Amino acid sequence: MLAVWRAQGKANLKERIAKRAEIDPASLPYNEEFLDFLRAAHAAGRKIWLATASHRKLAEQVAAHLGIFDRVRATEHGRNLSGKAKLDALVSDLGPNGFDYAGNAPVDLRIWSQARRALLAHPDRA
């Protein structure tokens, strides 16, 4: 079924998997150094958003577990929140240069282009 779901789009694939999958957010491999940075920013009163291409169900579970996010933006309702879609959502919500953005992949380059500040969070080799 994965191939059929994928043929209907990434957002559909993620939704179908999220409906069937359960995660334990406490068991995920977090980047503790980066989380310490986010916790300090949160404690200092900064608004921290989790903007992810993961499905909203899973993102909300992670956000609830960590307790530092003021808002979650994620894949939902047939919209894969990645690349340009994520950029459009952030700029719509916060304006160009109205946010700092932490990313880890080449797809984040276009988001960094309109962020006030670009941060690397456990980047891949690319």
Ordered domains of the chain (ranges, CATH): 2-120 (3.40.50.1000)
Per DSSP, the residues of 56-104 read HHHHHHHHHHH---SEEEEEBTTB--STHHHHHHHHHHH-TT-SEEEE-
* 72, 78, 83, 85: CA torsion to nearest 10: -80
> Of the given ranges (12-16, 59-63, 111-115), which has the lowest mean pLDDT?
12-16
pLDDT given at position 5: 67
Q: Is the dihedral of CA 27, 126, 80, 94 positive or negative?
A: positive
| Strand bridging mode 49-55 / 71-75 | parallel
For the chain, give the mean pLDDT: 91
Of the pLDDT bands very low, low, confident and very high (cuts 50, 70, 90), residue 2 is low
Alpha-carbon distances of 99 from 9, 11, 32, rounded to whole Å: 29, 25, 22
